[in-house]
Amino acid sequence: MAHKRFAFVIEDLYGGGAQKSLLYTADQLRQRGHAVIVFTLRELIEHRLPEGLEIVDLGVVTRFTKATTTTLTEKWQAGRIARALEAWRPDVVISCSCDKITRHLRHPNLYFWVKSDVSAKFDDPAKRERAFAKVRRFYRGRQVIAVSHGVKENLEKVVGLQAERILPIYNPYEREPFVELAREPDALPKGDYFLCLAALEPRKRHDRLLRAYAESGVVTPLILLGKGKPEHEAAIRRQIHELGLEHRVTLAGYHANPYPWIAGAKAVILTSDAEGLPRVLIEALMLHVPVISTDCPSGPREILTGELARFLVPQNDEGGLAQAIARMDQAPLEVDARYYRQFLTETVIPQFEAL
């Protein structure tokens, strides 16, 4: 295949799975001989940057633009991005997590990379419809990359988006780097433990996890890895106390390298209300660690296949979740490559090259 020029545009590289998968995808394309550049809109970096990957901060998101966010401001920001793209001359432009600004761009081969399922994020009907209207306004007649088949289906059937086209492409993964990172020394707990690696925010439903864990009756400790707003962390700590779980549940904070913790877990548990294609489940499987998940829109069903489907639990079935935790505690499932082959780089990157 002829080499192409790829430009990725993202607000920043702070935390989050979307930023991590963008960096990895961009670097894999670079390693396969393509010219690649990542434009950020502000200089905020938390992730490890791949060596040799060019990152350029355009500095168009500032305190001033945050305070005066208007369509006029967005168009000014988009104009700055457009000038950078004209100088770079990319064949493909992929926008991620900054579409409020990049929707004003008119590059002939621009894709909007949608990483989450907006159809499951809002309980309030008015807020939900406003969110849907925004999605339709941003992406109508545009080209969209959906992070899973479920996200594509919900954009079309639930949100009612009429895009030029929506391509479902998984985030690409390579197993070996995760294995290497998992070998780095860390002060891990002694003995078995269950692990929930998720931002401390309501959508991740730690409340559901804690109630089901308490109901399961298992004595294997549960560790919560992640960060969030102080009020969300306080609510989780309060619930741990109310359920009498202080000696079995630990909040271990945020870790830049969580892979030793994942590799050491008996199983990884995710209990969200909404996901796009949850990285943590795929990364756990790549480290041959079994997973338990709620069947939330829209990614877990595409990840927990085969025998793993026994540990995919209806979203609001806390009793079923408790049983899944107890079953996994008694007889942990063995994981091998068949559970993650569809997400490997060699399967996925050619789909980006074809854009």
Strand partners, 37: 7, 54
Where do the domains of the chain lie, and which CATH numbers do they carry?
5-171+344-353 (3.40.50.2000), 175-339 (3.40.50.2000)
Nearest residue to 255 (alpha-carbon basis) of 210, 209, 197: 197
Q: Under a CB-based contact definition with an 8 Å cutoff, are residues 148 and 282 in contact?
A: no
Kindly state the average pLDDT of the residues 128-154.
94
Task: Give the Cα separation of 257 and 225 in Å (integer).
Answer: 11
Assign 242 a pLDDT band (cuts: 50, 70, 90): very high
Cα→Cα distances 7→34, 54, 135, 351, Å: 11, 10, 23, 16
Is 330 buried (19+), middle (13-18) or exposed (0-12) by CB count in 10 A?
Answer: exposed
Tell me which amino acid residue 199 is. A
**Rounded-to-integer distance, Cα 206 and Cα 196, Å:** 9
Mean pLDDT of the chain: 94
- A 10 A CB-CB count for 345 gives 17
Residue whose structure tokens are 């864990």: 213
What is the rounded radius of gyration, in angstroms, for the C-alpha atoms of the chain? 21
pLDDT of residue 123: 73
3-state secondary structure of 228: strand
| Cα four-point dihedral sign 175, 337, 166, 5 | positive
pLDDT at 120 over 80: no
More confident: 232 or 1: 232
CA distance 315 to 299: 13
- Residue 296 CA to residue 186 CA, distance in Å, equals 32
pLDDT band at 153 (very low <50, low <70, confident <90, very high): very high
pLDDT, tens digit, for every residue of 5-62? 999 999 999 877 789 889 999 999 999 999 999 999 998 887 878 999 999 999 999 9
Poorest-pLDDT segment among 145-154, 246-255, 272-281 = 272-281
330 has a pLDDT exceeding 90:
yes
pLDDT average, residue stretch 297-315: 93
pLDDT of the residue at 47: 80
